Amino acid sequence: MTAPAPSEKALVPFVSVENMMRLVHHIGIERVLTELTDVIEADFRRWELFDKTPRVASHSREGVIELMPTSDGEIYSFKYVNGHPKNMAEGLQTVTAFGLLADVSTGYPVLLTEMTLLTALRTAATSAMAARHLAPKGATTMAMIGNGAQAEFQALAMKAVLGITHVRLFDIDPKATEKTRRNLEGSGLTVMACETSQAAIEGAQIITTCTADKQYATILTDNMVGAGVHINAIGGDCPGKTELHRDILSRAETFVEYPPQTRIEGEIQQMAPDYPVTELWQVVTGQAAGRRDEKQITLFDSVGFAIEDFSALRYVRDRVRGTAFFQSVDLIADPDDPRDLFGMLQRAKD
């Protein structure tokens, strides 16, 4: 007997890496980044109704594997993501991810997708959203320190959303800087490769740090940071892994995603537990001030939170509907008679 065809609910739309790449080019990368920024901001406005928990991290000597769940009561999502800074030297990605959306009313998954590319896109969009509220008005120049997998996405999001025109690059590995410079050719950005981080931040109103090292690093020291800049610190996102000297945090006004997670993982792990922070969602909803004056140093202590992945997954689900950019995967065993799971198994016996 041949196995019966799975029901419609058993077939889950799956977006492969290949299809994600096609989808992004079909829409246009800057449009994706702009739309994602707006979708994430819309979910930050609804922040209070989400289930929230610090991500569940499994640490090892080499890296971390994390699960990031959340729900708005109607849709549930989770992302599987790793962070292994030593991977790059072995020809592997530092960060890889995949994720799932499910219908809360049935518990059935409604989307399964690659999220390595999607994480780079959503991280860049989140940076742009934060900068929209915190960066000095009329910012034209950004420094990008750490020119790895995330770098081009970060630069393009700042261009698309904020109108950044100039990017100054620095990485301890000149090959990474050269790769980023080459990839940004033709993007409309004026790109300058710099030999030191000090040179890279010259004249920049936005400084993004996006390095990977499983240790306390000092990518920026206090004397490097002048009045009025916005720092977008992405790479410090694990216990024992930071990028900024703590003196910078003493001078800056710090904005975070979800304090219970950021206090463990972010730059602020270096500070006392009562170090004051502002939650970004409160800035987005107008309950708290963003940038107040031209002299203020603003810091977005980004670690990446589950709601950003939820937004990105929701965006992909809406964008692939009615297109050819997904496959249907027979993921859920769904017998016609719900109690006859065993009978369904038997039907596949030859």
Ligand X SMILES: NC(=O)c1ccc[n+]([C@@H]2O[C@H](COP(=O)([O-])OP(=O)(O)OC[C@H]3O[C@@H](n4cnc5c(N)ncnc54)[C@H](O)[C@@H]3O)[C@@H](O)[C@H]2O)c1
237 has catalytic annotation = yes
Of the two residues 311 and 326, which places its CB atom closer to ligand X in the complex? 311
CB of 38 to ligand X, least distance (A): 18
Nearest partner of 209 among 249, 175, 162, 260, judged by Cα: 249
d(C-alpha 236, C-alpha 248), whole Å: 14
Cβ-contact 79, 103 below 8 angstroms: no
3-class DSSP state of 220: strand
CB of 91 to ligand X, least distance (A): 12
Of the two residues 149 and 284, which places its CB atom closer to ligand X in the complex? 149
CB of 150 to ligand X, least distance (A): 4
Binding site for ligand X (CB under 6 A): 83, 88, 94-95, 119, 123, 145-150, 171-173, 176, 210-213, 217, 219, 234-235, 237, 302-304
Of the two residues 109 and 278, which places its CB atom closer to ligand X in the complex? 278
Choosing from 171, 237, 301, 309, the catalytic residue is 237
Cβ-contact 120, 150 below 8 angstroms: yes
d(C-alpha 52, C-alpha 48), whole Å: 9
Which pairs count as long-range contacts for 266-274, CB under 8 Å and 24+ apart, including other chains?
266/233, 266/236, 266/237, 266/242, 266/301, 266/302, 266/303, 267/233, 267/236, 267/242, 267/243, 267/299, 267/301, 268/301, 269/236, 269/239, 269/242, 270/216, 270/242, 270/246, 271/246
Q: In the bound complex, which residue of the shown chain has the CB atom lying closest to ligand X?
A: 148
Nearest partner of 67 among 75, 79, 83, 51, judged by Cα: 79
Distances (CA, A) of 307 to 1, 46, 114, 158, 244: 45, 10, 17, 21, 25
Of the two residues 98 and 326, which places its CB atom closer to ligand X in the complex? 98
Q: How many helices (H) and strands (E) does the chain have?
A: 11, 17
- Counting Cβ atoms within 10 Å, is residue 227 exposed (0-12), middle (13-18) or buried (19+)? exposed
Parallel/antiparallel/unpaired status of strands 206-209 and 230-233:
parallel
Of the two residues 129 and 219, which places its CB atom closer to ligand X in the complex? 219
d(C-alpha 5, C-alpha 16), whole Å: 22
CB of 294 to ligand X, least distance (A): 27
Catalogue the active-site residues.
Answer: 237
